[in-house]
Every structure is written in structure tokens, then in C-alpha cells.
Structure 1
């Protein structure tokens, strides 16, 4: 009997489960820190960070959903909460009449500045403390092509919408 073309061997399966567990543990610690330091969800933090890192401080909602790999409807909900808190503003996209552009506000930038140091401490403590600098370089070198491979297929949020009944 032959193996399916993309079967994983025991070493690969062990690496996969270790990655999933590390990701879950790190995400839990980050979620706690963001809640305590800024009353933010991880998705809200990702939105604010993407906007903060943008040269214009803005992104189209669809592009933002793709970048953080989040559903359009879920991002719309989170953006509504961020807008209500005064951390972002939303406006019609100048390029696409159906699109919406999100922009970080000064209050959003200030909140990121407040929570980012604690975020970096959690990431350093949980992920990088047990690794040498060479290990961290190796981890980045290993994960970058995997991320790029996964990004080569559009995220679900970018997939064409299926019409009901088809």
C-alpha cells in the first residue's frame, strides 16, 4: 500500500504538533497581556499594528482582512469596536466606491505605544528566551519560506464569495 502524496512522517507530525502547541501557548500569553495592558483582543492589536506600520496609517478593509487572515465580517465587527473606542476611523475608499478604508487615530497610536513594550516582553520571554541568537535566526529562516508558501494561496477572506444556492 502506498502513502498518499502529502503524508507526513513521524518527525514532521511531531514538528507540526510542537508548532501548534507553541503557537497556542504564546497566543494565550499574548491575549492576557493585551487584555490587561490595553483591553484589546489579539485581532484588534493586529489591526492597529498593521495600520501603525503603514506609511499612510491606512488600509482597505479587505486588504487588512487578508493581511491578518481574518474573515471580512469578523474584521468589520472588530473595526466597529475600535472605531467606537476612537482608535480608528473608517471612510469610503477613494479607489473603490464599495470599499472601506480604515485609518489609525492618534489615540490608536498612543494605545499601541502603551501596550507594545509589554507585548515584546511576553514574546521575548515565551518564545526567544530558551533560544540562542543562532536558533532565532534558524527559526526565522525556516518559518519565512513556509509563511511565503502559505501566503501564495489567497486567504479565505480574498476568495470569491459563493452565492447562496449555487
Structure 2
């Protein structure tokens, strides 16, 4: 089984120019479940390569967010000439996606949630599919808290600001949950 460390290293080391040739190499299975997909360079809201989404790996479901985020944060980004953008196809919320005690969960099966992880502070921001942040926490918390109804950061991530952040050097990589065409409703 491929470890979080290995897949994070593969993702960070992946050169955009070699992406097409690396499809087979990076199509490894961590476990049955969710597809980890690469959408290339630049931000999610204005990415010009959305039609070139490529499968990279299946990723384990329990605690993958914090583990992957911390591992990627640990790796050196000095050689990167781009920012990492990933898409996670996800059939349903996992057990590690628990809401904050003062808020209601917004992740339900077949819903889209974007996640942005920033540099040195390891800040994890959970955004709705229209890129408006609904909650922020720390990667070191080991949990990804997904919220709705809270006013905290409600207007912090408008599309324009998210685009500006995507061009900045502060952004490390982005994750977004999307409906998988292979998911079937019960």
C-alpha cells in the first residue's frame, strides 16, 4: 500500500511538463474509495485546464486530509515553479469530517466543498463550492471541520479574493470535493 508520505512526495515532485507521461506511474491505489485527481497549475476558480483532469490515485478515507496536508507542508517547495491544485472525487463525507460543536455540518453526500491550505501557518480554510469560506482551522488540529451557518469568514473568500490568493506565494495547494460520476445514490 502506498503511504500518505509517498503520494504527497509524488504530487509535490510532479512536474507539469511531465504530467502526461506520469499518468500510469501515479495511478496507484491507496485503498478503495475516492479518486485523487490533478487539475494542473493555477487556481480552481479560473483554471484553464479543467478539461484535462487526470486521475492520480485513490486515497484512504480516515484522516487523510490532515495527514496529506501535514506531509505536503513538510516537503520542500523551493523547486516548485507552480502551485499544487487537486480535485478529490468523493461519494460521501467520511467519519473524520465532523462539524464544530457550535455549527451544523455542511458536507453531505454528493456535495462540493473546496479546501485551501496556506503556507507556513498551515491554515486550513474550508470553502463552499462558490468559493466563500465557511470555516478556518489549523492543519495541526488533525481534523477538517466543515461548517455552515457560521458568520466567521463568511465574506472572506469571494471569487475575486480567492483568485488573488491563488496568484500569491502564500498558497500551497488547493483541494476541492466534487461529485464523482461513479457514485450512486442509495
The structure with the largest helix share of the pair is: 1
Shared fold per TM-score greater than 0.5:
no
Superposition TM-score, scaled by structure 1 size: 0.26
The structure with the largest strand share of the pair is: 2
Which structure is larger by alpha-carbon Rg, 1 or 2?
Answer: 1
Superposition TM-score, scaled by structure 2 size: 0.24
